[in-house]
Structure 1
Amino acid sequence: MVVNIDIKEGFLNATRRPDNLGERAIVDALVTALLERDPRFADGNAIDDVVKAIVRSDNARHFHAFAVPQLRDFVKTDLPDSAQIIEQMDDANGRLGLGWLCRHRSDGSHIQGLNDCKDYLRKLVDALIGVFLDHLATFDRASLVEAMLRNQEAVFSEMDLWKRTFGAILASSDETSLATNSAIMRIGRLNGASMASRTVIEAAVCASPVEGGHVPGEYDLSQLMALASMIHHMGGYSEAMTAGIMPPEIKISSAGEVMMQHEFSEDVVRPFGEFLQTKSLKDAASSYIENYTSPNVRSEAAEAEEPSEDEKKFEAAWLAEYAFSLDNLRDFLSGFRAILEKDGKAVLPFSSSKLVSRLQSETGMEDESIAACMRLFTYQPRDIWNSSPDGFTNVSWFPWRFRRQLSIVSRPIIQITKEEEAEYLIAPAMVITSIAKFVADARTGGFDQKFFSENGPMFRWTGYISDRLGEAFNVDVAEKFLQIGWKAMSNLSDGQILGREKDPRFGDVDVLAWNERQSKVLIIECKDLSFDKTIGEIAWRLSKYQGEVKAGGKRDNLRRHLDRCEVIESNLGQLSNFVGFFVQSCERILLLSQSTPLQFAKITEKHNVRVVTFSEIADLFGLS
C-alpha cells in the first residue's frame, strides 16, 4: 500500500506555531489513509482516538521554527555537524600509567597524609602539564585555536538545542525519566568538552607555535581535551583534600591508575550537578512555548527609567576602574552582534587594525573606547601558560578554577600573535555572551574581591554590593515568612532577642520567624550564595559549613550559627518574652538563595540543622 500526502505551499509555516498543528495534520492524514477502509475505524472518532494516542500533547513535535533566534542560530550552518567530546577511550588511555608519571615504583603505591598527598598531586599536575605542553608544541597555533573555538561554539549550540527542544522531547517520550537522564548525560559530556576546549585554547595561545606546526585532526583534539580534563580534575582533587573534604589518601594501581576515595564526588558533586541540570531542563520545558512567541521589546519609558542609586554607583566604579563607560561597552557588544549577524561565521580571523576598523564602522565608537574595551577583554599570548604574570593572582591561570582573570570566559577576544599588528580569532557569540555575563556577575558581586585590583573601585564595589545584597536577602526572607502567615524580623542582635547587653561574639540572627499556633520559633541563617561549579569550589564551600572550629580558634560559618542557636535555645524564657508566647520548640534553619552543594552534604544528620532554599519556604512552612 502506498500513501501519497499532498502538502501545499506554506504548510511549513505551521512549524512556527506554538502548537504542533502541522505535524498533527500529517499524522491525521497518514492514520486516516491507513485505517479508513477498516470497518473497525469507520467511526471518525475512532481515528481521532488513534491520532491522539500518537500525538499526545501539543508540544510533541520534531520540526521547530523558533520565532526567537539565539545568537548561535546566526552561525548554525557554519558549525560542525556535531561537537567533539572527550572520547571514553582517550580518557581511559590517559589514566593508564598516570600514577607513575611523577613517582618511581620503588617509592610505593600508597600515599597518605595531607602534605604527602598534596605534594604528590602537585607533582602529578606538573607532569601532566609537561605532557600537555609537549603535545601543544606540535600544532599550528591558529589552526588549533580555531578548531577548539569552533568546537566550543558547537558545544553551546547543541546545549542550547537540547534545552530549547526539551519540552517537545518530554512530550514525545514514553518514559520521561529516561528522556531526562539521557539529556543530563549528554549535556554533562558537552559541559566537559566545553571546559576542556577552553583549557586547550588558553594553553595553545601561549604554547603552540605561530608557524611550522601541524593542523590538528579530530583524534588530536580528543587527546588534547582528555589531557586538559585530567589536569582539571587532579587540580580539583588537590583542592578538595586541602579543604578537608576528600580523605588524604591515594593508591596507584598496578596499571598506574590514580585511585582516591570519591565519596565526595559520588555523594555531593554528581548529585548536585544532576539536580541543576534537571532543574534547568524542567525550566526549559515549562517555557517551551516562549520559543514561538515574539521577544519582548523594552518600551521607551523603560529605557528612559532613572537608574537606581546602586546602578549609579556600579557605573561610576566601572568607569573609574576601566576608563570606559557601560554605554561604551553596549556599543562595543553591538559591533560584535553586527559582525555575527552580517557575516554568519562562527569564528573569524581579524588583524588588529581591521577589527578596530570594523567595530568603528558598525558602532561609530572612538579609537580610545574600543582600545579600552579590548584591553580588558582580550586574552593575550604569554611566554609561559602555567604561570601568572605580574598584576594577577597566582591562581589566575589554574584551569580547575572558574571566575579567574586569565580565562577566555573573562577575556573572550582571542589574540593569536604578539606583534603590534596582531592577529585575532573572534567567535562573536562567545564574545557577546561572555562579556554580558562578566558585567552581570560584576554588578551582583559574583566575583571574589581578589579578582579586582586591591582597594580599587571594583574591589570596593564588590564588598559593598555583597554586604548590601546579603542584608536585602535577609529582609526578603523575613517578608516571605510574613506573607505565609508567620511573624518574622531580620538582622536581630542577641540583645534584642534576649533582653541583655549585646555580645560581640554572638553576631546577629539573620531572620527570626515564629508561629504562635505551633509554639515554634525558627532561627534562620540566610546565605545568598553563588553557584559553585568545580570540584575545588564545591569543596571550599563545604569546608565553611562543617560546624567546626578551625585552627587559631576561628569558627566556620555553620559553627557560628550553631553557637547562636545554642545560646537562644538555652534561654527560652527570654525568647518567649520576645515573641509573646511560650516557646515549646526551636528549629535551626540554613536558608539559601538558590540550590547549592550544601543541600547534598550531610549537614542535617551531623548538626540537627535544616537546609532550605528560598523557593521552598511556602511549601515547607506555609500554614494550612
Structure 2
Amino acid sequence: MRAIRGMAADSSAFKRQNAMNGIQRAAKTVCEIAACEAASTGGLVPHQEDLDELFALAILLVSTGQHFALLSAGLHEPTLRISPAGDLLSDQSVQTNVLRPSAELVNRRLLDEAAESYERRRPHEEPQANAGLSAWSPDLRAAIEAEYQTSVDAFINLQYVLARLAEARREGAFPIRRDELAEALKARDDFPSAGIEALLQRLTLPHRPNWVDIPKGRSEADFNLSRFDRPYSLINRPLIALDDDVNPLVLVAPGLVADACMYSLIGLKEGTLNNAYWISDEARAFAGAQGHTMGEEFEDDVGERLRKLGLQTWTRRALSWALNMKVDPSFGNIDVLAVSHDKRRLLVIEAKNLRLCRTETEIASRMSEYRGRVHRDKKGRETPDKMLRHIRRVEFMRAHASRLCSRLEFDAPPEVKGLLVVDAPQPMNFFAADQLPDGQALMLDAIAQFQF
C-alpha cells in the first residue's frame, strides 16, 4: 500500500486504527457500566442508532475524565466555552501538540518496522524449531503460574478454547455460570484444565450493585474509566460477573479474553505493568525485574550509539566515581556520561525507555514526574520529581567540574550539560522540558543528528 499510495497509506492506517481503538474503548466502557447498572432480566434490544449514541456518550464520558486529569495537572486552563451551535469547547492544545504527533510518530515507526521485516523472497520458509522458546524462561512461567494458579498452556490456550465454545453455540458472546464454564472446559480433550477454577476467578471482574459503589479496600481510581491498566478493568479481568452469586453468571466474550491475556503477557514480559495490576508477589517481582532490565538495556543502547558516533561514554556511574570524591547518595547515579568530540563538554544523560503516553491522563502523570518541580505530600514533606533530580545531579557536577579532570582525563574543567534521551515520544519532547536548564528531551532515533 505504501508503494501505491505513498504517505497517504500511513495516514489511512492511522485513522483506521484510531477508529478501531475508539470503538473498542466505547464498547468496554459500556460493558463495565452495564454490568453494574443494567437490569438482570427483561430490558430492550437496542437499535443500531441507539448503540451509536450510547457509544458516543461513552467516549464523551472517557474524554471528560481525560480533560479533568489535564486540569488537575495544570496543563489546561480551567476555562470552557460554548460555541454558537451549543457545543462545549475546551483547550485542545495537549491533544493537538502532544498526543496526536506522538501517536503519528509511533504509527509511522511501526509501519516502517513492518515494511522492513516483510519477507518477500522466502514466503514458504519454515520457522526455526526453537523460535520463541527462549522467551519462556522458568521465571516467566513461574510468575504466570503464581498469578493465574494454572499452567502456562492453560493461560495461553484459554482464549482459543473459548472461541471454539462460542463458535459451537453460534454466539459471539454468551452468558454462563462460572462453574458450568469450568465443567465445559474440563470436558474438552484439547485443553489442560488443571486449576481452571482459580484461573476463571482471577479473570472475573466482580459485580457491583451500582457504579458508585466502591468495594472496601478499593479506590475510585480502580474504576476510573479514563485510566488505562486498572486492576479492575476488562483488560485485566475480561469475564464480566453479572450478579453477586458465589457462582456468578459471567459474560464470556472470547475477543475480550484474547486481548486481556495477550496484553497481560506482554506487560509481564516487558515489565510495563507493575504493582497493583498483579495480585501475586511473584508476578510483581518478575515485572519489576523485567522493567529494571529493560531500563539498563536502554542505557547500554544509548551508550553504544554514542560510541559509534565517536564519543567516549560510560554507563551507570555514581557521581562519586566521576568526581573522585564523597557524594551524598541522595543524588542518585548517572545513566550515561558522554564526552564531546572536542573534549570540552561533558553530557550527563538521563536515559529512560519511557512508555508512550496513550491518553491525556498518562500525559498528565508523566509531566508530573518530569516538570523539574518539588512534590509536597500531605505531611508537607518535599521530594524532587525525576527531572529535578536529574537537573540537581547536573548542577552538582557543574559546580565541581574541576574534579572531573582526573577521572575523565579532561585538560581543563569541562562545560557540563544535561540531556534526557527517550525511546518513545514523550510530552517533554514537545514542550516544557526545553525550557528547563539541562532538561532538553531527545529521541534516541535522532541522536545522530544532535550537536554534541
TM-score by length of 1: 0.64
- Distance (whole Å) between structure 2 residues aligned to residue 349 and residue 568 of structure 1: 63
Identify the residue that residue 245 of structure 1 maps to in structure 2. 75
2:238 is the alignment partner of 1:408: no
Give secondary structure in 1 for the equivalent of 2:331: coil
Shift of 1:605: 3.6
2:142 is the alignment partner of 1:316: yes
560, 569, 574: which is aligned to 2:398? 569
2:383 is the alignment partner of 1:558: no
Give secondary structure in 2 for the equivalent of 1:230: helix
Change (3 A) 1:245 1:295: farther
254, 257, 262: which is aligned to 1:436? 262
Identify the residue that residue 72 of structure 1 maps to in structure 2. none
Change (3 A) 1:468 1:282: closer
- Distance (whole Å) between structure 1 residues aligned to residue 63 and residue 243 of structure 2: 30
* Partners of 2:351 and 2:420 within 8 A in 1: yes
Change (3 A) 1:448 1:300: closer
* Partners of 2:29 and 2:225 within 8 A in 1: yes
- Distance (whole Å) between structure 2 residues aligned to residue 344 and residue 180 of structure 1: 39
2:253 is the alignment partner of 1:427: yes
Identify the residue that residue 190 of structure 2 maps to in structure 1. 363
Shift of 1:290: 6.4
171, 180, 184: which is aligned to 2:3? 171
Identify the residue that residue 105 of structure 2 maps to in structure 1. 275
2:267 is the alignment partner of 1:451: no
541, 544, 559: which is aligned to 2:366? 541
Give secondary structure in 2 for the equivalent of 1:238: helix
Alignment of 1:263-302 (within 5 A): 263-289=93-119, 293=123, 297-300=127-130
Give secondary structure in 1 for the equivalent of 2:62: helix
- Distance (whole Å) between structure 2 residues aligned to residue 497 and residue 596 of structure 1: 29
- Distance (whole Å) between structure 2 residues aligned to residue 477 and residue 470 of structure 1: 11
- Distance (whole Å) between structure 1 residues aligned to residue 96 and residue 420 of structure 2: 23
- Distance (whole Å) between structure 2 residues aligned to residue 451 and residue 306 of structure 1: 22
Alignment of 1:445-594 (within 5 A): 445-453=271-279, 456-517=281-342, 519-551=344-376, 552-582=381-411, 584-594=414-424
* Partners of 2:429 and 2:441 within 8 A in 1: yes
Paired residues in the alignment total 445
Identify the residue that residue 620 of structure 1 maps to in structure 2. 449
Identify the residue that residue 231 of structure 1 maps to in structure 2. 61
- Higher mean C-alpha displacement, 201-210 vs 463-472: 463-472
199, 203, 210: which is aligned to 2:29? 199
Deviations 1:185-240 (A, max 9, x none): 33323322221111011111221122221101111111111111111111111111
- Distance (whole Å) between structure 1 residues aligned to residue 97 and residue 103 of structure 2: 11
Identify the residue that residue 189 of structure 1 maps to in structure 2. 19
Give secondary structure in 2 for the equivalent of 1:440: helix
Deviations 1:250-270 (A, max 9, x none): 445677644333322222122
* Partners of 1:587 and 1:609 within 8 A in 2: no
- Distance (whole Å) between structure 1 residues aligned to residue 312 and residue 143 of structure 2: 39
Identify the residue that residue 225 of structure 2 maps to in structure 1. 399
Change (3 A) 1:316 1:578: same
Change (3 A) 1:183 1:242: same
Change (3 A) 1:171 1:338: same
Give secondary structure in 2 for the equivalent of 1:249: coil
Instruction: Give the aligned residue type for 1:172.
Output: I
Deviations 1:306-346 (A, max 9, x none): 96xxx434443444444334343234345346557x75967
Change (3 A) 1:443 1:180: closer
Give secondary structure in 2 for the equivalent of 1:505: helix
Give secondary structure in 2 for the equivalent of 1:434: helix
- Distance (whole Å) between structure 2 residues aligned to residue 295 and residue 260 of structure 1: 54
Give secondary structure in 2 for the equivalent of 1:495: helix
Deviations 1:11-35 (A, max 9, x none): xxxxxxxxxxxxxxxxxxxxxxxxx
* Partners of 1:387 and 1:397 within 8 A in 2: no
Name which one, 1 or 2, has greater alpha-carbon Rg.
1
* Partners of 1:337 and 1:432 within 8 A in 2: no
Give secondary structure in 1 for the equivalent of 2:351: strand
Shift of 1:509: 0.9
* Partners of 1:509 and 1:525 within 8 A in 2: yes
Shift of 1:449: 1.3
Deviations 1:488-545 (A, max 9, x none): 2112122111111122232211111224545432211011222321211111101211
367, 370, 377: which is aligned to 2:203? 377
- Distance (whole Å) between structure 2 residues aligned to residue 335 and residue 500 of structure 1: 62
Which is richer in helix?
1
Give secondary structure in 2 for the equivalent of 1:538: helix
- Distance (whole Å) between structure 2 residues aligned to residue 277 and residue 450 of structure 1: 29
Deviations 1:388-435 (A, max 9, x none): 323544311111000012211112234445556755443324322320
2:158 is the alignment partner of 1:326: no
Shift of 1:603: 1.5
Instruction: Give the aligned residue type for 1:558.
Output: M
- Distance (whole Å) between structure 2 residues aligned to residue 589 and residue 268 of structure 1: 20
- Distance (whole Å) between structure 2 residues aligned to residue 321 and residue 566 of structure 1: 44
Identify the residue that residue 57 of structure 1 maps to in structure 2. none
* Partners of 2:204 and 2:241 within 8 A in 1: yes
Deviations 1:432-486 (A, max 9, x none): 2320211221233212413334x94434444444334333432343233334432
Percent identity of paired positions between Structure 1 and Structure 2 = 25
Instruction: Give the aligned residue type for 2:403.
Output: Q
Identify the residue that residue 89 of structure 1 maps to in structure 2. none
Consecutive unaligned residues of structure 2, counting only runs of 5 or more, are none
Identify the residue that residue 102 of structure 1 maps to in structure 2. none
- Distance (whole Å) between structure 2 residues aligned to residue 345 and residue 576 of structure 1: 74
Alignment of 1:71-110 (within 5 A): none
Change (3 A) 1:224 1:510: same
Change (3 A) 1:296 1:509: farther
Give secondary structure in 1 for the equivalent of 2:41: coil
* Partners of 2:153 and 2:192 within 8 A in 1: no
- Distance (whole Å) between structure 2 residues aligned to residue 288 and residue 306 of structure 1: 22
Instruction: Give the aligned residue type for 1:381.
Output: H
- Distance (whole Å) between structure 2 residues aligned to residue 178 and residue 446 of structure 1: 32
TM-score by length of 2: 0.86
Change (3 A) 1:343 1:517: farther
Give secondary structure in 2 for the equivalent of 1:406: coil
218, 223, 240: which is aligned to 2:48? 218
Give secondary structure in 1 for the equivalent of 2:76: coil
Change (3 A) 1:306 1:540: closer
Change (3 A) 1:476 1:398: same
